[in-house]
């Protein structure tokens, strides 16, 4: 499909143009906030009472396969203070640094954590759930329950009780945690209520939807392996644009991967040039949305993308159908809407250019689809079409979620009713079975 043709369709859909609300979650008024240090980011070791007392105890960040550095997040006591030989104990401590953790979690990148302690001349490394239980059980303080909850890989906020809290109950503790980024229904922000018994066993009692997908997550092609942002996204205009910048930056990687895979599968030079130009566009979009985030007091963080192996032509076509022919196409239409309706003139100016570029990117998606379909079997083409239909339904669920009014007004986002009306226009004009991206 040519760029001009798609542009006319989007303009017509814009002219042609219910509400699912998220839950409030558990009432946390009776819960206590975690005890934290390190700029209210990491749990404190205060409140941890090992089964056998120790001279020194630290909570340490452990590097993972995706990077990171070794950092002592919290500590208490004096290392090797009762050791028969302090130099020998210090040497043992230096050589016993953990390489794994008793938990690992991945949001925007991955992190892991371990406890390290000294008792006399002994150095103790707690880098697994079994070692944590042996070290702390019985779990008889709120802080110990929080450390047990970390082993689930879920996030515990130090500043927001709805996303991190604890209270004593019969036979143990209840701990509030969260998972997800809220960018799409495949990664909603969910609140979890965990129960930690005296032995450290963790079970989930309840979970609640705090935030589902938002329309802002559909602009830009997302690469395979894109990780969720750490701890989810806060609800503010600045964080909205910071997440847009993260996604725009991820789109740079997505188009570079697309070009490499098109080259490997023998695509014509025109598609390769368009993919390269699209990556360059996304670099500019990243700069623009980062400036918008800073305008609202937030600094955008870079995306974290797990490298993926070269994919088959069918796998490429399936991703292209969902990310390009559905999400990126709707993103181009959404950008036009924002360019006309954002309360902030800086946003309107930015979206005029972004929407024009995204329309060209969406047209590339349809061109890639047509080229790939000519090389795939009938069965593979049907699987691509099924992926496109599923992507439309996923997008429909995301667009049913109400965005916060301050974000909607500043960014010019449609209400759920308006967003679903835009979606219906594209369904009529582009996503009928005879017009599928295959």
Per residue in 278-292, pLDDT (tens digit) is 999 999 999 999 999
Task: Report the distance separating Cα 164 and Cα 419, nearest Å.
Answer: 32
Model-level pTM greater than 0.85?
no
User: Quick one: pLDDT at residue 20?
Assistant: 35
Per-residue pLDDT tens digits for 303-359: 877 778 888 999 999 999 999 999 999 999 999 999 988 999 999 999 999 999 999
Q: Which residue has better confidence, 411 or 225?
A: 411
Q: Which residue has better confidence, 220 or 81?
A: 81
**Overall average pLDDT of the 239-252 stretch:** 88
The ranges assigned to domains in the chain are 3-20+215-435, 36-211
Confidence of residue 270 (pLDDT cuts 50, 70, 90): very high
Query: Which segment of 212-216, 253-257, 293-297, 328-332 scores lowest on mean pLDDT?
Result: 212-216
Q: Which two tokens stand for residue 413?
A: 């986002």
* In contact, 295 and 271? CB cutoff 8 Å: no
Q: Which two tokens stand for residue 238?
A: 């600045």
Bond preceding residue 138 cis, omega within 30 of 0: yes
What CATH architecture is 3-20+215-435?
Up-down Bundle (1.20)
**Overall average pLDDT of the 162-185 stretch:** 85
* In contact, 188 and 213? CB cutoff 8 Å: yes
**Overall average pLDDT of the 393-414 stretch:** 84
User: Quick one: pLDDT at residue 434?
Assistant: 45
User: Quick one: pLDDT at residue 157?
Assistant: 86
* DSSP 8-state class, residue 218: G
Residue 79 gets the label, from left (phi > 0), alpha (psi -120 to 50) or beta, of beta
User: Quick one: pLDDT at residue 200?
Assistant: 96
């Amino acid at each position: 499909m040519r760029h001009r043709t798609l542009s006319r369709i989007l303009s017509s859909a814009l002219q042609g143009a219910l509400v699912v609300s998220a839950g409030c979650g558990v009432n946390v008024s009776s819960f206590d906030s975690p005890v934290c240090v390190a700029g209210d980011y990491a749990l404190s070791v205060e409140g941890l009472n090992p089964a056998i007392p120790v001279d020194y105890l630290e909570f340490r960040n452990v590097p993972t396969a995706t990077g990171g550095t070794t950092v002592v997040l919290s500590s208490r006591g004096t290392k090797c203070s009762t050791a028969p030989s302090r130099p020998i104990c210090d040497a043992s401590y230096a050589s016993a640094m953990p390489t794994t953790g008793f938990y690992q979690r991945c949001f925007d990148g991955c992190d892991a954590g371990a406890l390290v302690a000294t008792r006399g001349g002994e150095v103790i490394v707690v880098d697994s759930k079994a070692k944590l239980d042996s070290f702390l059980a019985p779990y008889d303080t709120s802080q110990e329950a929080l450390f047990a909850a970390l082993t689930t890989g879920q996030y515990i906020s130090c500043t927001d009780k709805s996303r991190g809290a604890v209270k004593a109950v019969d036979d143990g503790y209840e701990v509030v945690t969260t998972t997800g980024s809220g960018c799409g229904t495949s990664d909603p922000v969910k609140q979890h209520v965990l129960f930690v018994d005296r032995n450290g066993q963790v079970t989930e009692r309840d979970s609640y939807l705090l935030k589902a997908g938002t329309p802002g997550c559909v602009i830009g092609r997302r690469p395979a392996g894109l990780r969720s942002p750490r701890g989810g996204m806060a609800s503010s205009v600045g964080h909205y644009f910071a997440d847009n910048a993260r996604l725009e930056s991820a789109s740079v990687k997505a188009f570079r991967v697309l070009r490499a895979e098109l080259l490997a599968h023998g695509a014509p030079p025109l598609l390769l040039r368009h993919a390269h130009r699209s990556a360059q566009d996304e670099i500019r979009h990243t700069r623009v949305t980062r400036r918008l985030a800073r305008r609202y007091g937030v600094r955008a963080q870079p995306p974290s993308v797990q490298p993926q192996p070269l994919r088959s032509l069918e796998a490429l076509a399936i991703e292209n159908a969902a990310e390009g022919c559905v999400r990126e196409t709707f993103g181009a239409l959404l950008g036009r809407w924002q360019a006309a309706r954002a309360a902030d003139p800086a946003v309107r100016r930015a979206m005029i250019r972004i929407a024009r570029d995204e329309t060209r990117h969406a047209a590339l998606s349809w061109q890639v689809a047509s080229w790939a379909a000519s090389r795939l079997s009938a069965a593979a083409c049907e699987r691509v079409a099924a992926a496109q239909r599923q992507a439309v339904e996923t997008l429909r669920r995301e667009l049913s979620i109400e965005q916060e009014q301050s974000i909607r007004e500043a960014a010019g986002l449609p209400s759920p009713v308006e967003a679903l009306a835009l979606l219906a226009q594209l369904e009529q004009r582009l996503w009928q079975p005879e017009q599928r991206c295959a």
